[in-house]
């Protein structure tokens, strides 16, 4: 073989291959700018920060070609209207709590948390390996939303109260800011639920528009200053054993992304999902110490109160399931998953944690 002819022919082929490959690569890495509206104020660096983490990873993984602008609540969209903006295409993506939209359909509650539902680890297990993500996105598609888990707060606190809650009767007539489906539960006990965005809770509590409020936990609650306007801090937040957040993406915009961009966006959301819970777990202990040192009265809900709330939740689930087959489908799926999860958790997790807690108390 004539080596000059061989190299000439292979060189031509290489140039041709390069010429063909370059446009293909360019097409798979288009320059895009999306807008993301958060349901949370920028001052809450842990929960708002998940959106910043998400956008940063997407940008870095695409060499800056896919840029996502992050806006806090109320800058371009009200915090509780974030999902609507995605549905109507005003923005490409939002970071929000699904249960803010139970007014549209109570099934939205399952994307965040339902009273006496799953804890944070169980929630992620259900999402990723228990069919939860598939169920949710089948439901969200009717609202032109594709969802990716984007954070979890862990079990939340039961909130701030101006007066002690000793019996279920103490909830009667109480005006409380409470998110999602839990508001309908406490309404059965005579309370008056209020849906108020995070950045507006302090003012409502300070002015007496509400008598009590729940948000997340010590780290956020200290930042928001709730201890200055309410004395009693209750636990646990039985309505949010593992409150999940999501990135809601407009379905048309999601479908238009190249596959590699979809993979990057999915990976970025998963990172934000893990990071948020880890941050809360790391930062809540110090904040709780600060609050107690400043005079906050930390109190558990009585077993009587918890039992009454559990009974009310069960009644509400039965009523809602009878009227809404989709809600029933989700409830049955999650309850079956929860039963097996707690079968496992009571064996190892509970035994280990209980010993550690008792040992710490003795120390």
Is 116 in contact with 308 (CB distance < 8 Å)?
no
User: Sorting pLDDT into bands at 50, 70 and 90, what band is 198?
Assistant: confident
CB-count exposure of residue 209 (10 Å: 0-12, 13-18, 19+): middle
pLDDT score, position 23: 52
User: Sorting pLDDT into bands at 50, 70 and 90, what band is 197?
Assistant: confident
Is 236 in contact with 158 (CB distance < 8 Å)?
yes
Given a cut of 90, is residue 13 above it in pLDDT? no
pLDDT score, position 344: 95
User: Sorting pLDDT into bands at 50, 70 and 90, what band is 26?
Assistant: low
User: Sorting pLDDT into bands at 50, 70 and 90, what band is 5?
Assistant: very low
Given a cut of 80, is residue 28 above it in pLDDT? no
Residue range 276-289, pLDDT digits in tens: 999 999 999 999 99
Place of tokens 């079990």: 155
For 98, which DSSP code? G
Comparing 9 with 140, which gets the higher pLDDT? 140
Phi, psi of 265 (to 5 degrees): -60, -40
pLDDT score, position 19: 42
Instruction: Work out the average pLDDT over 310-337.
Output: 98
Residue range 215-224, pLDDT digits in tens: 999 999 999 9
Is 248 in contact with 86 (CB distance < 8 Å)?
yes
User: Sorting pLDDT into bands at 50, 70 and 90, what band is 8?
Assistant: very low
Lowest-pLDDT range of 4-13, 116-125, 256-265: 4-13
Given a cut of 80, is residue 1 above it in pLDDT? no
Instruction: Work out the average pLDDT over 198-203.
Output: 91
What is the Cβ-side half-sphere exposure of residue 255, based on CA atoms within 13 angstroms?
6
* CATH architecture group of domain 30-154+242-281: 3-Layer(aba) Sandwich (3.40)
* Alpha helix positions (H), the chain: 3-28, 45-61, 82-87, 120-129, 132-140, 182-187, 201-207, 218-224, 251-256, 259-293, 303-323, 325-345, 349-362
User: Sorting pLDDT into bands at 50, 70 and 90, what band is 6?
Assistant: very low
pLDDT score, position 27: 61
pLDDT score, position 199: 86
CA–CA separation, 156 vs 165, rounded Å?
A: 17
User: Sorting pLDDT into bands at 50, 70 and 90, what band is 195?
Assistant: confident
Helix (H, G, I), strand (E, B), or coil: what is residue 198?
helix
Query: How many Å separate Cα 305 from the centre of its chain?
Result: 26
Instruction: Work out the average pLDDT over 246-263.
Output: 98
């Amino acid at each position: 073989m004539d080596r000059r002819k061989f190299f000439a022919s292979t060189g031509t082929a290489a140039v041709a291959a390069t010429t063909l490959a370059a446009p293909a690569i360019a097409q798979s890495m288009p320059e895009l700018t999306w807008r993301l509206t958060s349901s949370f104020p920028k001052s809450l660096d842990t929960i708002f920060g998940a959106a910043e983490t998400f956008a940063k990873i997407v940008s870095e993984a695409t060499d800056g070609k896919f840029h996502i602008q992050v806006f806090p609540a109320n800058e371009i969209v009200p915090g509780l209207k974030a999902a609507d903006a995605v549905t109507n295409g005003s923005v490409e993506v939002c970071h929000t709590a699904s249960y803010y939209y139970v007014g549209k359909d109570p099934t939205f509650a399952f994307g965040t948390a339902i009273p006496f539902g799953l804890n944070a680890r169980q929630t992620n297990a259900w999402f990723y390996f228990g069919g939860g993500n598939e169920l949710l996105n089948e439901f969200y598609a009717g609202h032109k939303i594709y969802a990716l888990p984007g954070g979890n707060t862990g079990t939340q606190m039961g909130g701030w109260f101006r007066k002690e809650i000793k019996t279920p009767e103490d909830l009667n007539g109480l005006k409380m800011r409470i998110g999602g489906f839990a508001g309908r539960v406490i309404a059965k006990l005579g309370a008056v639920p209020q849906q108020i965005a995070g950045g507006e809770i302090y003012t409502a509590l300070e002015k007496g528009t509400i008598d009590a409020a729940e948000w997340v936990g010590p780290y956020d609650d200290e930042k928001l200053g709730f201890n200055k306007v309410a004395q009693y801090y209750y636990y646990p937040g039985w309505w949010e054993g593992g409150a999940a957040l999501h990135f809601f993406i407009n379905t048309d915009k999601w479908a238009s992304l190249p596959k590699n961009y979809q993979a990057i966006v999915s990976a970025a959301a998963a990172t934000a999902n893990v990071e948020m819970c880890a941050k809360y777990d790391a930062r809540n202990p110090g904040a709780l110490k600060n609050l107690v040192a400043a005079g906050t009265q930390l109190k558990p809900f009585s077993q009587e109160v918890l039992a009454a709330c559990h009974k009310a939740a069960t009644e509400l689930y039965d009523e809602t399931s009878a009227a809404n087959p989709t809600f029933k489908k989700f409830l049955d799926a999650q309850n079956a998953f929860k039963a097996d999860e707690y079968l496992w958790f009571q064996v190892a997790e509970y035994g280990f944690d209980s010993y550690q807690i008792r040992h710490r108390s003795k120390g």
